[in-house]
Amino acid sequence: MKDTLKNVVNNALKSLELPVEDFVIEHPALMSHGDYATNVALVVAKEVGQNPRELAEKIMKEVVLQDLPEINQVSIAGPGFINFTLSRTFFTKQIKLINTIDGEWGKNGAYLGKKVLVEYTDPNPFKEFHIGHMFTNIVGESLSRLFVMAGADVKRLNYQGDVGMHVASAIWGMQQMGLTADSQFGPRELGEAYAKGATAAKNNESAKQDITTLNKKIYDRSDEAVNQLYDKGRAVSLEYFEDMYAILGTKFDHYFFESEAGPKGQDLVLAHPEVFVDSDGAKIFPGEQHGLHTRVFINREGLPTYEAKELALAEMKEDECGTHDLSVVSTANEINEYFKVLLKAMSLIHPDLAQKTEHIGHGMVRLTSGKMSSRTGDVIPARDFIDSIKLVALNKVEESGREVDEQTAKMVAMGAIKYETLRGSIFQDSVFDEGNALSFEGNSGPYLQYTYARIQSVKEKAEKEGVATGLEVIPKDIYDVERVLYRFPEVVEEALVDRSPHKVAVFLTELASEFNAFYSHEKIADVGDELASYKLALSDAVAETLKTGLWILGIDAPERM
């Protein structure tokens, strides 16, 4: 529709022999201003030096002459906006479309036939999977789903740091705790061991020496006892992560490990002396020459740093996943600056790969109660956090005297968490507002889920009463919820372009809010009402839209709650 209007306006400009400027077609902030509006008169007026309102009049006349069935009314308002009000026919057609294209609603072809790799989550084995990992996973999954909606063949990737100082710290901590490969231990003990090691490395010089030595042993696998402890700890960690992915609703297609990327990265750096130079015993990339900062790729010990590994990772992705069109790396924004350096270095040795790599640095979450650090062991494990929210959901159900259903409580808890994570821009730091997430009201995941479940209930009643969906009898007026509903595909596409899942979240809340108003003012499944079939079809379309939109956010829509 947007494109249609753009054409209509362009035609008008042509016949008036006015210059074609870059104008926008958008939805006015207020629904009373119409369904679409354009600032074309304001833009062109500037160019030709005419009064914008007069110009708007002329353009409007030309638009009206084209006589489109979808347009009911064109008007001029404010400084010279041209507002379009869409016709009854248009809205009815949209409902019909939504209810018939089954599974295709909301999709777009922006990445049709393209292969897109999305790397996200990247938890480090031996560390606790905390709510920061949960946050980054939720963001990455949602980005992946936006690409799926655009028709892309999406491969979900997970890159895990199974070697490096943090692992050495954890192993050191395990040794201190007296753990061996035969001991029984889980992720909690590993988290504790890591905190112990990391603290010691920071405060105690000899411990730091030990850990450095341990790090080398892990790399070259020269100590059998260390190997066993390492292998066991790694396995325990990875298994635990799989449990978390299942809970979060993510399934990865490919896994990559630093232990593989290390040697390859090292070779890669050494093979390009024209890019990486010696400095102080290390191999560095002199980023200053490119307006960036210098980073070490191979340290004085001769070991590859994260930078070198990341370089190899790009090659490994291509080898493992085949040629692709885009490779997205989603991480917290604390490494934004570093990634710029990395991409610059990559562009010098692998211009093709660098060009299709996109780093999306999202903001960090903080809890209202304060911040976390896995170094000090002061973290909130994702599992504990999810369980606590689930408990709130269960209590809520019990309070209302409804049937207690473990599965639904879990859905609602995850809905609350994911919505709270994605309701704002991913690029900004945010505070995870527990109060807000736990309220389950208003601007929340459960509010959307509730609206969906409510519609299922209406449908159930309609079936009992013998009301079928249908668009034969059409209401005279256009319901506000219809004026929101048809915008969904535009929103999805825009959300992808901006890498902003929150646009979907904001839209869904507006849709649900309009539907709930409609619901409370109109009786839907009423046999005596000749409009019942239409209202039911509309409700059905809203449910379909909610379900698909929630899916983009990674949230399940329960049939009842």
Of 334-353, which residues contact RNA (CB under 7 A)? 334-338
The binder of RNA chosen from 51, 228, 388, 428 (CB under 7 A): 428
Q: Which stretch binds RNA (CB under 7 A): 37-45, 94-102, 318-326, 383-391?
A: 37-45
Per CB under 7 A, the segment of 60-68, 174-182, 321-329, 459-467 that binds RNA is 459-467
Q: Which residue of 5, 37, 353, 538 would you call a contact of RNA, by CB under 7 A?
A: 37
Question: 232 — alpha (psi -120 to 50), left (phi > 0) or beta?
Answer: alpha
Distances (CA, A) of 366 to 235, 370, 420, 421, 428: 30, 6, 12, 11, 11
For RNA, the closer of residues 141 and 514 by Cβ is: 514
Instruction: Give the nearest distance from C-beta 155 to RNA in angstroms.
Output: 21
Does residue number 442 form part of the binding site for RNA (CB under 7 A)? yes
Q: Does 429 bind RNA (CB under 7 A)?
A: yes
Query: Is 259 an interacting residue with respect to RNA (CB under 7 A)?
Result: no
DSSP 112: T
Are the beta carbons of 84 and 70 closer than 8 angstroms?
A: no
Interaction between residue 20 and RNA (CB under 7 A): no
425 touching RNA, by CB under 7 A: yes
For residue 114, the minimal CB distance to RNA (Å) is 24
Distance in Å, CB of 115 to RNA, minimum: 26
The tokens of 377 are what?
A: 């062991």
Can you read off the two tokens belonging to residue 349? 């040795």
Count of other CB atoms within 10 angstroms of residue 116 = 24
Sheet arrangement for strand 115-119: 254-257, 153-160, 115-119, 326-332, 357-362
Region from 94-102, 103-111, 132-140, 457-465 binding RNA, contact rule CB under 7 A: 457-465
Q: Which letter does DSSP use for residue 373 in this model?
A: B
Binding to RNA in span 210-249, by CB under 7 A: none
If binding is defined by CB under 7 A, does position 453 make contact with RNA?
yes
Half-sphere exposure of 348 (CA within 13 A, CB side): 18
Site for RNA in 480-509 (CB under 7 A): 500, 502-503, 506, 509
Chain residues 71-130 in contact with RNA, contact rule CB under 7 A: 77-79, 81, 83, 124
Angle between helices 406-422 and 131-149 (to 10 degrees): 80
- The smaller minimum CB distance to RNA, of residues 116 and 211, is found at 211
Other Cβ atoms less than 10 A from the Cβ of 8: the count is: 23
H helix intervals, 324-379: 336-349, 351-355
Which amino acid, residue 551? W
Span of 56-64, 107-115, 275-283, 544-552 interacting with RNA by CB under 7 A: 275-283
Tell whether residue 196 is a contact of RNA (CB under 7 A): no
* Helix, coil or strand: residue 266: helix
Partnered with residue 430 across adjacent β-strands are 365
Q: Residue 54: which residues within 8 A CB-CB, separation 6 or more?
A: none
Q: Is 458 in the site for RNA (CB under 7 A)?
A: yes
> Residue 139 or residue 525: which is nearer to RNA going by CB?
525
424 is an interface residue for RNA by CB under 7 A: yes
Count of residues interacting with RNA (CB under 7 A)? 99
Candidates 177, 247, 364, 471; binder of RNA (CB under 7 A) is 364
**Is residue 167 within 8 Å of residue 327, measured between CB atoms?**
no
Candidates 35-43, 56-64, 148-156, 322-330: pick the segment binding RNA (CB under 7 A).
35-43
Q: If we measure between CA atoms, which residue out of 345, 124, 145 comes closest to residue 256?
A: 124
Q: Does 186 bind RNA (CB under 7 A)?
A: no
Please, what sign has the CA dihedral across residues 450, 453, 455, 460?
negative
Site for RNA in 316-335 (CB under 7 A): 333-335
Of 249 and 424, nearer to RNA (C-beta) is 424
Tell me whether residue 161 or residue 173 sits nearer to RNA (CB atom). 161
Q: What distance lies between CA 277 and its chain's CA centroid?
A: 38
By the rule CB under 7 A, 469 interacts with RNA? no
- Examine residue 29 and tell whether it contacts RNA (CB under 7 A): yes
Residue closer to RNA, measured from CB, 152 or 410: 410
Which of 239/465 has CB closer to RNA?
465
Q: Using an 8 Å Cβ cutoff, are 22 and 52 in contact?
A: no
Candidates 144, 175, 330, 444; binder of RNA (CB under 7 A) is 444
First-to-last C-alpha distance (Å) of the chain: 36
| Sole window of 5-13, 106-114, 150-158, 292-300 interacting with RNA (rule: CB under 7 A) | 292-300
CB 542 → RNA: shortest distance, Å? 13
CB of 252 to RNA, least distance (A): 17
Instruction: Tell which positions 365-404 bind RNA, by CB under 7 A.
Output: 368, 393, 396-397, 400, 402
Query: For the residues of 51-98, what is the DSSP string, one character each?
Result: -HHHHHHHHHHHHHHH--TTEEEEEEETTTEEEEEE-HHHHHHHHHHH
Q: Considering beta carbons, is residue 154 or 331 the nearer one to RNA?
A: 331
Report d(CA 144, CA 520) in Å as an integer: 36
Among 267, 325, 433, 463, binds RNA (CB under 7 A): 433
Tell whether residue 290 is a contact of RNA (CB under 7 A): no
Question: Judged by CB, which is closer to RNA: 357, or 436?
Answer: 436
Query: Closer CB to RNA, residue 320 or residue 522?
Result: 522
Which residues, 152 to 181, sit near RNA by CB under 7 A? 161, 164-166
Residues 297-316 that bind RNA (CB under 7 A): 299-301, 305-306
Element (H, E) at 283: strand 282-285
What single letter denotes the amino acid at residue 205? Answer: E
List for the chain the helix, strand, coil content (%; round to 5).
55, 15, 30
